[in-house]
Amino acid sequence: MLSNKKVIGLILALCVAILPITIIVLPLNIVQAPTAKVFIDPPIWDFQMLVPGKRFSVNVMVANVTHLKSFNLKLSFNTVMLDVVAFSFLPEENLPIGNFAVNDTAGVLQMSVTYDGADITTETPVALANITFKMIARGRSPLHLYDTTLRDSFGNPIPHETTDGLVLILRHDVAIVQVATSTNETYIGHVVNVTVVAKNLGDVAENFTVSAYHNDTVFATFDVVDLASDENIIIVFHWNTSDVVAGRSYRIKAEASVVPDEADTTNNVFFDGMVKVKIIGDVTNDNRVDLNDLVAWDAAYGSRPGDLNWNPQADINGDGVVDGLDGELIIQNYHNTA
């Protein structure tokens, strides 16, 4: 006979063979409620110019809360550029009651609100307060939310995240502040250097194009990239006077292209003086080549820049010395007129 232990062992072995055990692991899905959020709406007010006294409003919003019964918060702002002129607690149907205090010196707005009516349960954003500001000056003002507390109907704190806002009141203004030419008279075909100083008078970096003109004709352009606020750039243009008619004077100007939302475009253009483009050999600038030009050349003969008798107009070929080559040019163009 089999012992009891052997019988039991055989029964267990038979069960294992006939009834295989399958272990099924079911996935465990845990759905977490979204985190409550307190934020400023709109997140950015971007004004392109200062209008002193202009009003605008922002809302303090909440989303993803359950049974919100009260809240406390502080909001900091830039008192140099903004002033709080009005506020209201919302939503009105929830019967908000509370306190609102503004410290204009520190730039801190503080509110404490309890709802006498129904508490607030919402996934979509709901306005808790509306604040109206007045513009005072240009600048940047973060609207910083801090020391925020949300509590439910049982007085329990509601975990939440905060997102700040931003107000920008920025001036956009580029200008041409100086134009200077290397000479006010030259010979046809010579190069005149035109030095232009452009400046960013606004509050943000700007991209723009500077164009140089003789009369109303553009002879050169330059693209300015990311010129910082209150910075200037010096640009030297090279005007080859072969593109004009000799014997005439040309007014030189520079112009900066208008940037988006520019506050003042009157300073985008700067006029310099006139540059006379002469016929070759006209040392005396009377639109003719004659004996007077030879006399002027002779008086400057052998001179270089810095000499007492130096006359740059007698250096007709522009090689830095008044010599026989310049005299030959006068003879070659003798009796020419413009």
Q: Over the stretch 263-289, which tens digit does the pLDDT of each residue have?
A: 899 999 999 999 999 999 999 999 999
Task: Place 45 in a pLDDT band, splitting at 50, 70 and 90.
Answer: very high
- Judge if 206 and 163 occupy the same domain: no
Q: Which of 231, 250, 278 is the last residue of a domain?
A: 278
Residues 71 and 46 in one domain: yes
pLDDT at 85 > cutoff 90: yes
Identify whether 30 is part of a domain: no
Please tell me whether residue 305 adopts helix, strand or coil conformation: coil
Whether the predicted pLDDT of 65 surpasses 50: yes
Worst-scoring range by mean pLDDT, 27-41, 137-151, 229-243?
27-41
Is the model's pLDDT at 3 over the cut of 90?
no
Shared domain for 77 and 136, answered yes or no, is: yes
The C-alpha atoms of residue 108 and residue 167 are separated, in whole angstroms, by 15
| Other beta carbons within 10 Å of 322 | 28
DSSP secondary structure of 33-75: PPPEEEEEESSEEEESS--TT-EEEEEEEEESEEEEEEEEEEE
Residue 7 has pLDDT above 50, yes or no: no
- pLDDT number for residue 39: 98
For residues 203-230, average pLDDT: 97
**Is 199 within the bounds of a domain?**
yes
Residues 44 and 113 in one domain: yes
In a domain, 146, yes or no: yes
Domain co-membership, 99 together with 208: no
Please report, for the domain that includes residue 299, its CATH number: 1.10.1330.10
Arithmetic mean of pLDDT over the chain = 92
SS (H, E, C) 161-198: EEECEEEEECCECEEEEEEEECCCEEECCCEEEEEEEE
Give the mean model confidence (pLDDT) for residues 294-317.
96
Looking up residue 136, the CATH number of its domain turns out to be: 2.60.40.680
Strand partners, 172: 262
> pLDDT-derived band of residue 19, with 50, 70 and 90 as boundaries?
very low
Residue 18 lies inside a defined structural domain of this protein: no
**Number of residues written out for the chain:** 338
Residue 10 lies inside a defined structural domain of this protein = no
Are residues 76 and 156 both part of a single domain?
A: yes
Q: Are residues 236 and 208 in the same domain?
A: yes
pLDDT (0 to 100) of residue 30: 55
pLDDT of residue 16: 45
Pick 18 or 161 by higher pLDDT: 161
pLDDT in tens, 27-40: 545 556 799 999 99
Residue 15 has pLDDT above 80, yes or no: no
Domain boundary residue, one of 135, 152, 169: 169
Question: Can you give the pTM of this predicted structure?
Answer: 0.70
Q: Which residue has the higher pLDDT, 261 or 212?
A: 212
Is 9 a member of any domain?
no
Q: Which of these three, 226, 259, 278, is where a domain ends? A: 278
Mean pLDDT of 79-102: 96
Do 313 and 294 reside in the same domain of the chain? Answer: yes
Residue span of the structural domain in which 193 resides: 171-278
In a domain, 11, yes or no: no
Same-domain pairing of 224 and 334: no
Total domains, the chain: 3
pLDDT of residue 272: 93
| Alpha-helix residue ranges (DSSP H) falling in the chain | 4-18, 291-299, 324-332
- 3-class secondary structure, 245: coil
Is residue 50, in this structure, part of any structural domain at all? Answer: yes
Tell whether omega for the bond before 91 is within 30 degrees of 0, i.e. cis: yes
Same domain, 178 and 266: yes
Asked if residue 48 and residue 130 are part of one domain, the reply reads yes
Pair (250, 163) in one structural domain: no
